[in-house]
């Protein structure tokens, strides 16, 4: 019996690597997988799932208007689909998570979703909220903060032009990585809070 899985973590825990490994395991046994990734995610080449260690695979794009059930059923009618894998699943809508439940329950196709649980402010993404509620299996992928403890929060990068030819680069993680309030240390993010001022040119990250 097929199940809906939600693999969640903070950033840089190897979610895409795990997805690609799962897909490879199916393919190695002659089984077909269909991989999806969010159209909104343009960090790497669109139409591909890419990992930080150099692995990649072709993927179908989805947006908030995509009918996931219809698209997967179409793929399955053309050639048997043995597993569906979804990267950046935090960007799914409630309706799309319902559609994935339909695929699992009525088409008997396992669906493996990989994504963030919360945003930089600790708020649940819509897709993550309903996957936490409806997935058959929840699996946390762990990663490490710069302080050495388990990472829980995610970063927000903001680039603001403050005056002509002057830029400020702010990397904010729930306001600070490990701030103290009433002598109590808060949760760790997975990087360091810092502010750097660049003058006379836009920032160069190389």
Q: Which residues contact 198 (CB under 8 A, 6 or more apart)?
A: 166, 167, 168, 169, 204
How far CA 44 is from CA of 48, 148, 154, in Å, comes to 8, 28, 19
88 is catalytic: yes
Catalytic residue among 39, 45, 70, 88: 88
Are 37 and 49 contacting, i.e. CB atoms less than 8 angstroms apart?
yes
Q: How many angstroms separate the CA atoms of 57 and 52, rounded?
A: 13
Question: How does strand 4-9 pair with strand 111-116?
Answer: parallel
Q: How many angstroms separate the CA atoms of 201 and 97, rounded?
A: 44
Cα R_g (the chain), whole angstroms: 19
Q: How many angstroms separate the CA atoms of 105 and 194, rounded?
A: 47
Q: Which two tokens stand for residue 133?
A: 């509620």
* Residues with a known catalytic role: 88
């Amino acid at each position: 019996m097929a199940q809906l899985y939600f693999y969640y973590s903070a950033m840089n825990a190897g979610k895409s690597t795990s997805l690609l490994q799962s897909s490879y395991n199916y393919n190695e046994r002659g089984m077909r997988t269909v991989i999806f990734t969010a159209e909104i995610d343009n960090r790497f080449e669109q139409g591909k799932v890419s990992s930080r260690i150099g692995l990649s695979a072709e993927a179908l794009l989805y947006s908030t208007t995509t009918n996931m059930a219809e698209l997967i059923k179409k793929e399955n009618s053309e050639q048997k689909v043995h597993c569906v894998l979804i990267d950046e699943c935090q960007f799914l809508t409630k309706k799309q998570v319902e559609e994935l439940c339909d695929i699992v329950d009525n088409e008997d196709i396992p669906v493996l979703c990989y994504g963030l649980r919360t945003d930089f402010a600790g708020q649940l993404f819509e897709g993550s909220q309903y996957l936490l509620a409806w997935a058959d299996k929840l699996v946390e992928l762990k990663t490490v903060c710069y302080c050495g403890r388990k990472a829980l929060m995610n970063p927000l990068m903001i680039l603001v032009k403050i005056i002509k030819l002057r830029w400020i680069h702010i990397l904010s993680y729930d306001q600070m990585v490990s701030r103290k309030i009433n002598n109590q240390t808060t949760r760790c993010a997975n990087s360091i809070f810092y502010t750097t001022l660049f003058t006379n040119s836009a920032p160069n990250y190389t």
